[in-house]
């Protein structure tokens, strides 16, 4: 699986667990409009840390917060690269 | 004096000799470190160490703990109203030294149960274990001591062979019994839980394992003493007990249970903190909430997980996990999160095959009972959960 598909799978699974209606996932979709709340995002980040062994939010060389789904995917792709 | 022995029995024999013969008698738990022992010697003004470790120690006379301990004091009459000093379980930070009187310690003990064979998973040098030792001594019964190094199956076999009728432990101790597959090695008439929250699942499972036993959960702590026993098989306790008066008075203030009785400890030794408030109530630090006509315990002050500003009591989530039939034991902990500060993570011991489907079913059961921020975001199936020497679940903060 690619990093992108792993991230998108987690988003879909967590949204389903939390009964959240997800907007169609595109790179330009703002996280705030995606249907995910901050609890969902926290869960996604923790599960991705377990799955990928990395948490780009906590790494020192990353001080920008992702705004869109595409930003979030890119964050994981950059630390995994 | 401070009694510090490797095994429980020498301490039990020494305290029988020393009560009434010394001003103050401290019972050291087995897991006390050397530094904690030194601190306790200063805090409690100890001049004599009764011990099986004869290495010299600064500031005290070292006396071997043996059967001829103070033979002259076999004992026409008491010289002192001896203070009994116990160590708190120290789940958070260093143990505190708590002073009791013998009348206070035996206050909760009712009429003798003739022919009882007592046992406890607690060490008798802790409040919970000492309560059982005193019951055995006062009632003329006998007692089977546990050993922390002994496996639960071996202990249960030994207790069963000795015909144990009355046995106590924490809910964590009892979950270990139920998990071990050896629960049937004992056939007790009386099963007692104390020291942690007894949730409905552990009460129901003990009822199923020991259908003929009286099952009772007590609220007790080293500081507050035994406050009450709940015998109706239901978690929590009747709300009508709060403010009802009697020898043990209960009050709920600032969400925590407070207790005033002659059974509470008299003071912390060597500490500035006072044990009781201006009205004489001891704050247990246990948070309670009213549901219907009962109060239920939610957790400890200071144990709260903060998920994006919303409070989660680990014990409340553990109770929801325990309600699932496949979950034999659960521990809930905080996991740090860059988004919400913390999220809820859980480790569970399960019965049967541990697979994705079971994890999903357990999480779904939690979602049906709990607010979304309380549902474990991460659920891990583990082979076993650690229990501290105090009998309480080992809590860790990730």
Q: Give the CATH number of the domain where residue B347 resides.
A: 3.30.300.30
Q: How confident is the model at residue B69 (pLDDT cuts 50, 70, 90)?
A: low
- Which strand (E) or helix (H) includes residue A54? none
Average pLDDT over residues B109-120: 84
Counting DSSP H helices and E strands in chain A, the numbers are: 3, 0
Residue of B nearest to A47 (CA): B378
pLDDT surpassing 70 at residue B88: yes
Q: Tell me what pLDDT residue A60 has.
A: 57
- B294 and B358 co-located in one domain: no
Q: Tell me what pLDDT residue B108 has.
A: 86
- B61 and B18 co-located in one domain: yes
* CA dist., res. B307 & res. B339, Å (int): 9
> Is B371 inside any structural domain?
yes
> Is B386 inside any structural domain?
no
In whole angstroms, how large is the CA radius of gyration of chain B? Answer: 22
Contacts of B357 (CB under 8 A, 6+ apart): none
The Cα of A24 is separated from the nearest Cα of chain B by a number of Å equal to 23
Q: Tell me what pLDDT residue B84 has.
A: 96
* CA dist., res. B345 & res. B20, Å (int): 50
> Is B14 inside any structural domain?
yes
* Parent domain of B47: 1-87
Q: How confident is the model at residue B62 (pLDDT cuts 50, 70, 90)?
A: very high
In whole angstroms, how large is the CA radius of gyration of chain A? Answer: 12
Q: How confident is the model at residue B67 (pLDDT cuts 50, 70, 90)?
A: low
pLDDT one-digit tens code per residue, B302-333: 889 999 989 999 999 999 999 999 999 999 99
Determine whether the interchain pair B340/A50 forms a contact, defined as Cβ–Cβ distance below 8 Å.
no
* A68: three-class secondary structure by DSSP: strand
Q: Tell me what pLDDT residue B141 has.
A: 85
Domain regions of chain A by residue span: 3-80
> Is B281 inside any structural domain?
yes
Contact assessment for residue B85 and residue B26, using Cβ atoms and an 8 Å cutoff: yes
Mutation site for A-interface testing, chosen from B310, B339, B341 by largest number of A Cβ within 10 Å: B339
The Cα of B197 is separated from the nearest Cα of chain A by a number of Å equal to 28
- B164 and B264 co-located in one domain: yes
> Is B158 inside any structural domain?
yes
- B240 and B167 co-located in one domain: yes
Average pLDDT over residues B69-80: 64
Instruction: Output the CA torsion sign for B359, B360, B362, B366.
Output: positive
- B38 and B80 co-located in one domain: yes
Contact assessment for residue B395 and residue B387, using Cβ atoms and an 8 Å cutoff: no
> Is B389 inside any structural domain?
no
> Is B23 inside any structural domain?
yes
Average pLDDT over residues B353-377: 93
- B252 and B196 co-located in one domain: yes
> Which tokens hold the place of A53?
């062994």
pLDDT surpassing 50 at residue B398: no
Average pLDDT over residues B285-314: 93
Greater confidence (A41 vs B91) lies with A41
- B244 and B321 co-located in one domain: no
* A30: three-class secondary structure by DSSP: strand
* A40: three-class secondary structure by DSSP: helix
Q: Tell me what pLDDT residue B73 has.
A: 52
- B124 and B238 co-located in one domain: yes
* CA dist., res. B318 & res. B335, Å (int): 15
Q: How confident is the model at residue B185 (pLDDT cuts 50, 70, 90)?
A: very high
* CA dist., res. B17 & res. B69, Å (int): 7
| % of chain B surpassing 90 pLDDT | 70
Average pLDDT of the residues of chain A: 89
- B187 and B71 co-located in one domain: no
Contact assessment for residue A8 and residue A25, using Cβ atoms and an 8 Å cutoff: yes
Residue of A nearest to B344 (CA): A43
Confirm or reject contact between B343 and chain A (CB < 8 A): yes
Range scoring the smallest mean pLDDT among A4-13, A20-29, B53-62, B168-177: B53-62
> Is B70 inside any structural domain?
yes
Task: Determine the topology of domain A3-80 in CATH.
Answer: 1.10.1200
Domain count along chain B: 3
pLDDT surpassing 60 at residue B70: no
* CA dist., res. B376 & res. B318, Å (int): 10
Determine whether the interchain pair A43/B367 forms a contact, defined as Cβ–Cβ distance below 8 Å.
no
């Amino acid at each position: 699986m690619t990093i992108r598909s792993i991230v998108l799978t987690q988003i879909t699974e967590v949204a389903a667990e939390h009964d959240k209606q997800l907007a169609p996932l595109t790179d330009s979709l703002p996280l705030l409009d995606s249907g995910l709340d901050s609890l969902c995002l926290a869960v996604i980040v923790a599960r991705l840390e377990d799955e990928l062994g990395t948490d780009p939010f906590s790494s020192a060389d990353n001080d920008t917060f992702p705004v869109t789904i595409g930003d979030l995917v890119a964050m994981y792709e950059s630390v995994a690269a | 004096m401070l009694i510090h022995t490797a095994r429980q029995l020498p301490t039990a024999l020494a305290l029988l000799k020393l009560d009434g013969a010394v001003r103050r008698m401290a019972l050291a738990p087995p897991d006390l470190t050397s530094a904690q022992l030194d601190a306790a010697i200063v805090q409690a003004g100890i001049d004599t160490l009764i011990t099986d470790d004869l290495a010299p120690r600064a500031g005290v006379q070292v006396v071997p703990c043996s059967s001829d301990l103070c033979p002259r004091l076999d004992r026409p009459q008491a010289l002192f109203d001896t203070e009994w000093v116990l160590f708190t379980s120290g789940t958070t930070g260093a143990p505190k030294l708590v002073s009791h009187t013998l009348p206070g310690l035996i206050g909760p003990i009712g009429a003798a149960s003739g022919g009882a064979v007592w046992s406890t998973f607690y060490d008798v040098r802790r409040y919970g274990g000492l309560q059982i030792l005193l019951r055995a001594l006062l009632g003329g019964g006998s007692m089977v001591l546990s050993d922390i190094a002994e496996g639960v199956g071996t202990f249960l076999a030994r207790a069963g062979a000795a015909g144990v009728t009355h046995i106590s432990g924490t809910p964590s101790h009892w979950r270990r019994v139920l998990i071990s597959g050896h629960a049937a090695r004992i056939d007790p008439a009386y099963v007692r839980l104390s020291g942690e929250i007894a949730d409905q699942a552990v009460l129901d499972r003990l009822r199923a394992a020991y259908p003929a036993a009286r099952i009772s959960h007590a609220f007790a702590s080293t500081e507050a003493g035994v406050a009450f026993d709940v015998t109706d098989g239901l978690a929590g306790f009747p709300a009508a007990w709060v403010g009802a008066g009697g020898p043990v008075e209960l009050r709920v203030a600032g969400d925590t249970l407070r207790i005033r009785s002659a059974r509470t400890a008299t003071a912390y030794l060597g500490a500035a903190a006072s044990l009781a408030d201006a009205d004489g109530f001891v704050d247990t630090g246990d948070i309670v909430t009213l549901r219907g006509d009962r109060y239920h315990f939610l957790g400890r002050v200071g144990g709260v997980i903060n998920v994006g500003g919303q409070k989660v009591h680990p014990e409340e989530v553990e109770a929801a996990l325990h309600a699932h039939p496949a979950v034999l034991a659960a521990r809930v902990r905080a996991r740090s999160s860059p988004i919400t500060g913390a999220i809820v993570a859980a480790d569970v011991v399960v019965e049967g095959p541990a697979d994705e489907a079971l994890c999903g079913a357990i999480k779904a059961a939690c979602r049906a009972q709990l607010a979304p921020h309380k549902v474990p975001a991460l659920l891990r199936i583990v082979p076993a959960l650690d229990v501290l020497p105090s009998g309480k679940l080992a809590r860790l903060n990730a």
